[in-house]
Amino acid sequence: MIILAEFEFPLATGSRIIYESLLPELEEEYQRTRSKLRLEQDTLFLNVEADDLVSMRAALNGWLRLVKISCEMTSMHKL
């Protein structure tokens, strides 16, 4: 069974910086998950595909944490 999760993150500012900071994570290869990331204007799209629920949960925990931290760091950079 393939499980798919899709997220859209509308980013007001710093979208290019956030996108580029996350790109190196796509170079990692995992046996049970696959991820895609794209940027359209100021919206970041994340697609995660997994072979099972355990793998999906682990992948989403990692990706969502990375997106959150990137957004926080970008907003702190403006201060």
pLDDT at 78 over 80: no
Alpha-carbon distance of 3 to 1, in angstroms, equals 7
CATH code of the domain in which 31 resides: 3.30.310.50
pLDDT of 9-54, one tens digit each?
999 778 999 999 999 999 988 899 999 999 999 999 999 999 999 9
Which pTM value belongs to this model?
A: 0.88
Given a contact cutoff of 8 angstroms between Cβ atoms, the answer to whether 56 and 48 are in contact is yes
Closest by CA to 49, choosing from 2, 1, 11, 12, is: 2
| The total number of structural domains that make up the chain | 1
Alpha-carbon distance of 52 to 54, in angstroms, equals 6
Domain that holds residue 48: 3-77
